[in-house]
Amino acid sequence: MRSFAAEAPKRRATLDQFAAKDANSYGVIRLAAAIAVVFTHAFGVVGGWDAPEPLFASTGWSLGAHAVHVFFALSGFMVAASWERSSGWIDFVVARALRIMPALICVNIAIVLIGGLWLTTLAPADFWTLDNVGRFMVRATLMFSVGVGLDGVFMDNPMPRSANIPIWTIRYEVICYFTLLAFMSAMAVIRMRGLMRLVAVAPVLVCSGLVISVSGEPEAFGFVAQFARFVFTFYLGVACWIARDHVPMRGTIAAAFGIAVLAVLWAGLPVRYPVMILATAYWSLWLGTIPMGWLQRWTARTDLSYGVYITGFFIQQWLVVAVPGISVAQNALAATALSLMAAWISWTYVEKPALGLRRFHGRLFSRQTFGAPAAGQAR
């Protein structure tokens, strides 16, 4: 006789079943995305600004750009979850600052020290000036500027003066954090909870998707189009968090997104850019539901993705100086290995201890109430 369990209908996999940290492989996906950024930058670091990068000709975005979309989609999902675990908006802001700033400050200090002590072609008196070092620290740490460099450092590289290009996307990440803070606080004030919050998210996605579609080729995107691009990607993750009980995670859907992407690319439709982002967001979430064994367990507790992202480019630029004639493949492989080591140091001695400060801060502000999230809003 068949058991009741055997007769019970099997529950279809939905995103909520993988929301817990130990139940998903999102740490692996983020690390793979960071390595993809390093791999993509190897082409420009070795070949110069105009060097062709993987996927750019066929999709309008390079492999590294698509990897950044992975970061933003997963960030929207996870940061929305972080909001609902926070004791209030101050706790949320401090948690976000502790995740981004300590490692970035330390990496920028290391870049200045290495650049000034070993790499610069200038005399010490000319390098160690407030205009040079101070300008770099302010623009690279507080403004996340892509164009800032250090005098006399990497001047003859194919990408001259550039010290840490990837940090420019952090600016948009921080903006997304503050928009989420305002959005979730407003939802709490008007008592809009559960799936009803999708009513407010939908216009954000529609408007940002339209801006992306009418802004032409991505290489010509200005601030507004880039802002729309990252808001669209981030809020796809937020929407998936809000509706996680109702978002199916199936390979057939992932395959359908693949077909849709090929179709819009073949047709050359303007909507191809938001469609690619939508597909990338789903693929990221779906791939993270696949068990990955020890690698999944390790990345859940040792998050090297951010460290690889903010150290990889400087290491790649240094390799061009240290190893004349280095190839793209050699640069990518060596930089990946070295940035993983640098990221482990950053995680072990900077990022993880900084994140530990949130426990103390959370207790300090546990009585905060304005705009405070509630666990009951999750569903």
Give me the phi and psi of 248, to 5 degrees please.
Answer: -70, 145
pLDDT digits (tens, 9 = 90+) for 183-224: 999 999 999 999 999 999 999 999 999 999 999 999 999 999
What pLDDT score was predicted for residue 6? 45
Taking all residues of the chain, what is their mean pLDDT, rounded to a whole number? 92
The DSSP annotation for 204-238 comes to HHHHHHHHHHHS--GGG--HHHHHHHHHHHHHHHH
Q: Given pLDDT bands bounded at 50, 70 and 90, which one contains residue 49?
A: very high
Amino acid making up residue 43: F
Asked whether residue 372 is assigned to any structural domain, the reply reads no
Please name which of 364, 293, 216, 355 lies closest in space to residue 27, comparing C-alpha atoms: 293
CA dist., res. 157 & res. 185, Å (int): 47
Whether 210 is covered by a domain: the verdict is: yes
In a domain, 374, yes or no: no
**Percentage of residues in the chain with pLDDT exceeding 90?**
87
Residue 370 lies in a domain: no
Give the domain range for residue 26: 4-365
Tell me how far apart the alpha carbons of residues 350 and 356 are, in angstroms, rounded to a whole number.
10
Total of domains in the chain: 1
- The tokens for 34 are 């960071």
Q: Give domain status of residue 29, yes or no.
A: yes
**Global pTM value:** 0.92
pLDDT digits (tens, 9 = 90+) for 330-343: 999 999 999 999 99
Residues 6+ apart with CB under 8 A from 168: 144, 145, 146
Domain membership flag for residue 231: yes
Quick check: is 188 in a domain?
A: yes
Residue 376 lies in a domain: no
Q: If pLDDT is split at 50, 70 and 90, which confidence band does 88 have?
A: confident
In DSSP terms, 14 is beta-bridged to: 248
